[in-house]
Amino acid sequence: MSNKARDIFILGLRNAHAMEIQARELMERQSERMDDYPEVKAKLQTHLQETNEQLTRLEQCLSACGESSSTLKDTTQSVMANLMAMGHAMSGDEILKNTFANNAFENFEIAAYKSLLALCGAAGMEQARGPLQQSLQEEERMAKWVDSNVEKVTLQFVQHEERQAAA
């Protein structure tokens, strides 16, 4: 086990924890405003539960290393998520901006978990592989769902706007 690999692994875990804090904040804000898109809202709420479980798994991995999450990183990411959500909420095409951002964010999370998994062996943290693999699979499922629903959400938005214009 390399001390440098372990240090990088711990840094990655802290970064992933802050990333999931950001994801949680984004999904909480988004789901509050998705009543016109019930399928999207339901999927966000389901993935929000997964995100909370991912946070727990990351905390357990950090604890197994004798470490904890970074309050500064977590707070910074939380603030950034709320600012992003407010910015999207002020636009007329909020659902589209959220869809595009979620597509990008899910792929960011996938890359982060793949990086952590690559470090497990070198960091001497093979016991983290299972929990991290589970989180990766959840992110891959969500990314696939978001990607496969871009067209549907876009067309729903058009229909919603047409109904608003006719009213």
* CATH number, domain with residue 42: 1.20.1260.10
Number of domains in the chain: 1
Distance CA 16, CA 73 (A): 10
First to last CA, the chain: 66
Q: 5-33 pLDDT, tens per residue?
A: 999 999 999 999 999 998 998 899 888 88
Which spans in 33-121 are helix H?
38-64, 71-89, 94-119
Q: 47-99 pLDDT, tens per residue?
A: 999 999 999 999 999 999 998 876 656 566 665 655 565 655 566 788 998 89
Range of the domain at 39: 3-166
The predicted model scores a pTM of 0.90
Mean pLDDT of the chain: 89
